[in-house]
Structure formats: structure tokens, C-alpha cells
Amino acid sequence: MSYQVLARKWRPRDFSGLVGQQHVVQALSNGLDQDRLHHAFLFTGTRGVGKTTIARILAKCLNCMEGISSKPCGVCEHCVAIDEGRFVDLLEIDAASRTKVDDTREILDNVQYAPARGRFKVYLIDEVHMLSTHSFNALLKTLEEPPEHVKFVLATTDPQKIPVTILSRCMQFNLRRLGVDEIAGQIEHILEQEAIDSESSAINALARAADGSMRDGLSLLDQALAAGNGALLSDTVEAMLGTVEQRQIHDILQALTAQDAAAALAVVEQVFSMARDLAVLLTDLAEVLHRIALIQQVPDYRDDTRNDWDQLLDYAGQFDPEDLQLFYQIVVTGRRDLSLAPSPRSGCEMTILRLFAFQPAGRSDPGPGRQEAARPDQAQANNAVRESGAGASSETGPRRPAPASEAEPDKSAAHENLLPADWPRLLEQLDLNPAVHSVAGLLALKAVNQKMLEFSADHDDLDLMTERFRASLSDALERYFGSPRRVSIQAHEAGDLVTPALIQQETESKHRQDAESSIARDPAVRKLVDTFDAEVLKESIRPSQ
């Protein structure tokens, strides 16, 4: 017997085998079991979600020799004939190839005749939106008052093109796109029944590539099995789909946290050399950034369709939420404008470089080759934080390491003289990337010894203190003290937690209040207010240096 493709072999034979369309199945089942049958049904939805399959199951329910029921027997002569596509009273019409009014009239001329074998004559018109205006007019009267032995089942992917007069005479059901987990579950079930070896990552990749269509997913599965010599392997699926490997996306994110543009461009070179689509690289990067943003903003979010969940949790603690939104917008815009670039590679590389070039103003560590454009109020707030510790410098701008002759004597005995109140000053002197520096500002130093620094953090901030963050902070402390330092972080139990971030916030607030008071007392401003009934916009006031 010749090979039968999986999409046809595993087409559901009854409502119980359908995946993801329970709202439609429930309504049709209730109507069939209660004998409340409409004369015309319209199924809408994207390709491969089950429109024609439901129509055929409905024809079996109406013509089963055991009687009208939502559970046809599947073994009687009529059910078998419908499954095999040879039931004479089920007329499947492709509207895309029979759009003329003469074709429609030829079909409708036979409506008046009784069914040859079954209980009902079922007209299944696929892609009904392709009919011409005259064809719709010819169909309208029959569709409104058909004979009792006729049922119309219409299917379309574009209901907007169907006249309202037709829509008003049909019971309409909108079939939804299937989720990745639903498609993956069905593929896994089929592979188990077919006794085919598979890898879960390959199944998830096919489910995502199916884009909500079960038929597309099974067609891709057939193709992947042919390419993999009867087995479903991740490498084969990635090569077939032209997808970018997950590790390459993570390499770009790692380069972004380390501010290493060369490493990110090396990934682009690697993807280009593999003849993969660079637009897919940007698409996958945007998707990962989206998932990281969901982790940061939605506490209950969980996604196990990929095996990189732990890595995403680490990135969620390293990236600032505002930076992440900027990165996402840059990648999406770069993906959109890729066709305008001189070449896809140059467009992709410029998009990646743009991630490193842009940074919120006032960032204390702008990175190599980048000029900091700090706002006056932000610079003054940062300056105030540095002055909160003994011997802090009043100089604003990017942090610069102190000369060895000045810094070394202090470091040699720093652990002996370091007090919890000195933590804001110490933090400014540590060599940390911006993301780790931002999270470290949420810590309060509690105790210090020669081997370990003990910190406290608010309960809500503990999720940001990942193992990768602790390792980065420990490495920075080791470089500063010249010997290994472990980091211990405990939840803060009671009382106010004084952190560098809080000190900076309070200092900035005080400077703003002082600036507002100074403006309010200024004679020129007071004269303008009294003379012209003017109003001072407080949000426009910026503290001076």
C-alpha cells in the first residue's frame, strides 16, 4: 500500500479526536443530541485548524445509520463511505475553482432532489469567499429556505469577503489558532503511536513553526522525518527550518551584558556562514527579549516550551527593564527595515551594534568608546551618593579607577576598616557592568570579614539576586580587595533597609525640593507670578550642579 501522509492518516474521525476547538464541538454536539439542527453552518479560521474536518464529521453525525448523534458509530456503511470520500450525498465543492454563476446554478439545480442514500444531502463549499457576487446572489435564496433534506456547510479563511446577507443566514463558528503546546502534544502522540524516535526540542520547534496550524505542523513533521531518515532530530529540524540555534541567541545576550560588541558580531558571522536567514536571527532575538520582559513584569509567567528557562531567569536579573524595552524596539525596528539595508548582513550587524550604542542618559558606566550624556539632576544625584561615604569624590561623570599609588594602600586593609555605612562608596569603586551595578544598589551591607561580605535585601528583590549576579559581585570584590570574597545575601526581616539606591533616591528628592524652593523664592519668578498670574511647572525644574 502506498504511503499516506500523516496529515491525512491522523485526520480526526469524530469530535473526540479534535484538538483545541472545544467551543465549536460543544455547540455542535448539543445541537445534534437535542435535534436542534440549523440548515446552514459557516466555519471560519486560518488554514489547517480543522474547518473541513469538522464539516465531514458533521456530515457523518447527520447520516450515520445508527441515527443522528454527536457520536457517529464510524463503522456503518455511511460513516465508512464518508471517511473514504465516496459518499454520494456529501458534495464537496471548491469555490476557488468554481467561481462562476453558471457553476453555482448547476449545483443548486440538484438541491431539490432527495438524497440518494443518506438522511441528508450535505453541501460542503470550501473557500466560499472566492465565489463571485452573482454566485452569492444565486446561492442566497436557496441558502435561506433550503429543502428539509439539505444542509449547507461553508468554510472560509476570509469571512470579511462574504456578503452580510449570506452571513446572516448561517450559524457561524470561528475556529481559533492552535497553541504551541496543543500542536506539540498531538505531534508527540502521533510519534508515540508510530513508534518513531524523537527529541522534545525538535517537537517544540515544529510546533512553533506550524504557526497555529495543525495541518502545517504535520506536513513539517513528514518533511522532518524524511530528512532525518525516519527519526525526528533537533539538528535536522533546525537545518530544515533554517532556524537559529538557541545558544547563538544567548551568546548575543551574554555579549550584551558584558558590553562586548565584537562577540555579538561574531555570532552574526557564524549565522551568516551557516546560510541561515538573518531576519530569523533578529526575530528569535526579539522573542527572547519579550520572554525576559514577561519574567520581569509578570510574576506568574512560566514557559517550559524551551529548555532555557533558568538562563532567562538570570538575564531577567541582569537587564534593566527600561533597557530591555529599548533593546526590543531596536531589534523589531531593525527586523522591519532589513530589506532597506544595502545587504541583510550589514542591516543585521547595524541592528546589533545599535544595541550597544544606545543607553539611557546618566548611566554611570557607559562602556568603552561611549560618551556619557548625563542629565544635570542625575549627575548631581550620583554625586550625592558618592559623597555619602567617607572620602568620596565630588567629581561627576564616568567612574575612573584611581591611580595605583593612591588606591593600593587603602585596599590592603580595606576589610578591616570597612563599615556598613561605607557600602555606597565601595559600590561606586567596584568594576561592575551597569546591570549588576543597578541590582547591587538594592543591597545593604551588614557585616564584613576577611572572607565574606554579608548583605540584606528586600524580599521582593531576592529574585534578582541570581547565582550569576552573586558570582559577578564576588568577582568584582575579589578584584578590588586582591583576595577572594564570598557574598551572602539574606532576606531583610524588619525595619527600614538603607541601600545605595534608597540613598540616591532620597538625595535626588532633596535636591529637587531645594531647587523648587529656590525657584519659588527667586524675585524675578515671584514678580512674573504676581504680574501675569503665571504658574511654575514643577516637572520642568532641574536641580543645578
**Chain-centroid distance, C-alpha 298:** 13
Q: Is 497 left (phi over 0), alpha (psi -120 to 50) or beta?
A: beta
Q: Which of 143, 174, 205 is the last residue of a domain?
A: 174
Is residue 255 located within the same domain as residue 320? yes
CATH number of domain containing 317: 1.20.272.10
Taking the C-alpha atoms of residue 424 and residue 500, their distance in angstroms, rounded to an integer, is 5
* pLDDT value of position 487: 87
Is residue 154 located within the same domain as residue 25? yes
Q: How large is the average pLDDT for residues 27-56?
A: 90
Interior CA angle at 196 toward 190 and 198, to 5°? 95
* pLDDT value of position 419: 81
- The strand pair at 444-448 and 452-457 is best described as antiparallel
* pLDDT value of position 262: 93
Query: Is 197 a residue whose pLDDT tops 60?
Result: yes
Average pLDDT, the chain: 82
Domain range for 302 is 246-357
| Cα→Cα distances 150→111, 114, 123, 143, Å | 7, 8, 8, 10
Is residue 231 located within the same domain as residue 317? no
Q: Is residue 93 part of a domain?
A: yes
Is residue 234 located within the same domain as residue 275? no
Model confidence at 180, pLDDT cuts 50, 70, 90, reads: confident
> Hey, how many other C-beta atoms are within 10 angstroms of the C-beta on 53?
22
Q: Which helix (H) or strand (E) holds 432?
A: none
Q: Is residue 218 part of a domain?
A: yes
Q: Which of 154, 174, 194 is the last residue of a domain?
A: 174
Is residue 332 located within the same domain as residue 431? no
Sign for the CA dihedral angle at 442, 469, 465, 317 comes to positive
Inter-residue contact 188 to 203 (CB < 8 Å): yes
Q: Is residue 64 part of a domain?
A: yes
**Helices then strands, each counted (H, E), the chain:** 25, 8
Model confidence at 376, pLDDT cuts 50, 70, 90, reads: very low
Q: What is the pLDDT of residues 326-340, one digit of tens each?
A: 999 999 999 999 999
Q: What global pTM score does this model have?
A: 0.57
Is residue 80 located within the same domain as residue 59? yes
C-alpha cell at 165: 446577507
Is residue 482 located within the same domain as residue 461? yes
Query: Is 387 a residue whose pLDDT tops 60?
Result: no
Greatest mean pLDDT range, 132-136, 361-365, 527-531: 132-136
447, amino acid identity:
A
Q: DSSP per residue over 256-316, as a string?
A: HHTT-HHHHHHHHHHHHHTT--HHHHHHHHHHHHHHHHHHHH-TT----SSS-HHHHHHHH
Burial class (CB in 10 A: 0-12, 13-18, 19+), 370: middle
* pLDDT value of position 360: 53
Q: Is residue 545 part of a domain?
A: no
Residue with cell 464539516: 55
Q: What is the 3-state secondary structure (H, E, C) of 488-516?
A: EEEECCCCCCCCHHHHHHHHHHHHHHHHH
What does the DSSP 8-state code read for residue 459? G
Burial class (CB in 10 A: 0-12, 13-18, 19+), 335: buried
Q: Which helix (H) or strand (E) holds 486?
A: strand 486-491
Q: Which of 131, 158, 174 is the last residue of a domain?
A: 174
Is residue 191 located within the same domain as residue 296? no
> Hey, how many other C-beta atoms are within 10 angstroms of the C-beta on 229?
8
| Cα→Cα distances 146→118, 121, 155, 159, 462, Å | 17, 11, 18, 22, 68
Model confidence at 400, pLDDT cuts 50, 70, 90, reads: very low
Q: How large is the average pLDDT for residues 159-172?
A: 91
Taking the C-alpha atoms of residue 502 and residue 492, their distance in angstroms, rounded to an integer, is 15
Q: Is residue 368 part of a domain?
A: no
Query: Is 375 a residue whose pLDDT tops 50?
Result: no
* pLDDT value of position 350: 95
Inter-residue contact 206 to 224 (CB < 8 Å): yes
Q: Is residue 404 part of a domain?
A: no
CATH number of domain containing 468: 3.30.300.150
Is residue 235 located within the same domain as residue 252? no
Taking the C-alpha atoms of residue 150 and residue 160, their distance in angstroms, rounded to an integer, is 25
Query: Is 378 a residue whose pLDDT tops 60?
Result: no
* pLDDT value of position 371: 38
Q: What is the pLDDT of residues 267-317, one digit of tens each?
A: 999 888 887 889 989 998 999 999 999 998 887 888 776 777 888 888 888
* pLDDT value of position 109: 82
Query: Is 41 a residue whose pLDDT tops 90?
Result: yes
Q: Is 25 left (phi over 0), alpha (psi -120 to 50) or beta?
A: alpha
Taking the C-alpha atoms of residue 472 and residue 478, their distance in angstroms, rounded to an integer, is 10
Q: Is residue 1 part of a domain?
A: no
Taking the C-alpha atoms of residue 511 and residue 517, their distance in angstroms, rounded to an integer, is 10
Lowest-confidence region among 70-84, 99-113, 235-249, 397-411: 397-411
Q: When comparing pLDDT for 11 and 399, which is higher?
A: 11
Is residue 128 located within the same domain as residue 205? no
Q: What is the pLDDT of residues 416-449, one digit of tens each?
A: 567 888 888 889 889 888 888 888 988 988 888 8
* pLDDT value of position 544: 66
CATH number of domain containing 190: 1.10.8.60
What is the total residue count of the chain? 545
Q: Give the count of domains, the chain.
A: 5
Model confidence at 397, pLDDT cuts 50, 70, 90, reads: very low
In sequence order, what are the beta bridge partners of 198?
Answer: 232
Q: Is residue 38 part of a domain?
A: yes
* pLDDT value of position 44: 92
Is residue 88 located within the same domain as residue 53? yes
Is residue 237 located within the same domain as residue 263? no
User: Residues of the chain with pLDDT > 70: what percent?
Assistant: 87
